[in-house]
Structure 1
Amino acid sequence: MQKITEQAGPYRHLEQQSTLELLTKINREDQKVALAVEKCIPALTALVDDIVPRMQRGGRIFYSGAGTSGRLGVLDASECPPTFGVPPEWVVGLIAGGDHALRHPVESAEDAEGQGWLDLEAHNIGPDDTLIGIAASGTTPYVVGGLKACRERGILTGCVTCNPGAPVTEHADHPIVAVVGPEVVTGSTRMKSGTAQKLILNMITTTTMIRLGRVKDNRMVDMQLSNAKLVDRGTKMIVDALDIPYEEAKRRLLLKGSVRAVIEQ
């Protein structure tokens, strides 16, 4: 299989170019990402529509990846509790090599195909859960192994890759393929491929949480009030929703502990 993500970049002799030339070319390539992701919307729709009823029955979303892909999954999962006020168990990010790999490269970990399932099994993954394998190349054994094992057990699977026909797509009920083309620095999938993956994961969890009722109008009414900025944001939501003075809105927010509790009382 010829990997698009490994093809030679569109620009040569980068080391001879000015800062302005380099930044312009990187930005020019980045502009292609959103258009590539747009083409994935039908496949994303089908995936989210399968996830939502499972989560309504108590299911969870699991992300599995290695390197940049794994880090992006952990990042998206970690942002769901503060944004939507959900338990951390609702969206779980797993990275080959464990938490140490978030800050330090553990390159050989991605080659352990069997470990993908073992890490999922440690979380008691079950029939109402969903596994989304993330792999720009689409060949990562750690991810492929997890997808294979889940599919054999009737667990819903999806994948996010940037290579059509990649092995991960063969083991995913819902393959999401964002074809962003070769990278400016050949093979550096932390660039366009990583950006596409980040956009797609945001779309999956945000749309799912909206469908699950964790957003009211366009507001994060269940967000955690973990700092002064978020208390201020929540207070302004209440002012807007109830047309009451700022200080009264803040008093009610701190008393009730969430925007939803105030505006729905």
Structure 2
Amino acid sequence: MKNEYIPQLSEIKEVIKHTELEYTFRMVYEGPVKPGQFFEISIPKFGEAPISVSGIGDGLIDFTIRRVGKVTDEVFENYVGDSLFIRGPYGNGFEIDNFKGKELVIIGGGTGVSPMRGVIEHFAKNPSDAVSTTLIAGFKSPQDVLFKDDFKEWEKTINVIKTVDNAPDGYEGHTGMVTKYIPDLKFKDIKNAVFICVGPPVMIKFSIMEIEKLGVLDEQIWTSYERKMCCGLGKCGHCKMDDKYVCLDGPVFNYTDAKELFD
């Protein structure tokens, strides 16, 4: 029987640089995992950090990591051929079946795109699984865009709106907050529309306000409180919000539950 407290050693097979601070580490893993779940990545003497799964492959999983602290600083010293300790997966993840046959809209801000990438990949590769799929992704600037090569592929099969807050002179792409593009969304049947919204708390708040103006019900919206994850096992209590443990009951929540949670 697997001991959830004991991590396993995982080899880094590939490292993909997105920005000066964000890289994707493609690592060896065998076992079931869902988009939106997370692992604890650890280095002895330095500690561990909860990181969302940003990609799922054959015997491989991706972790898109931002260099922001002691553990992640040390992770960035480990590259192809080296290994890190991982334990997981934890949390409930996104259920792909919830979005099949629907008019799906995925809204992400910055690194919030990472935990949804598995969902985006599924519907970009299997566009007929949904009535339609639209991705609205916002970043601070063109230099902060993650998954640049993926966006080029996604644009071939799904509707993609990639926008930046701060654009240099001559920039020809979309500009402004993701909320700017929600009111213009068109649907065949609003009752068959579903939304996923992940990003900074203020982005989620105002995006959902715009979504609900379209006549969308709470049960048609999913989000993730992935920033609140901690030990992964519900033991430390740091992720507790009201009567929910984010690492056990989430990090993915239907908005009928998420709207009641306050941290």
Tell me the TM-score normalised to structure 2 length.
Answer: 0.39
**Bigger helix fraction:** 1
Tell me the TM-score normalised to structure 1 length.
Answer: 0.38
Greater RCO (Cα-Cα under 8 Å, separation 6 or more): 1
> Which has the greater radius of gyration?
1
**Bigger strand fraction:** 2
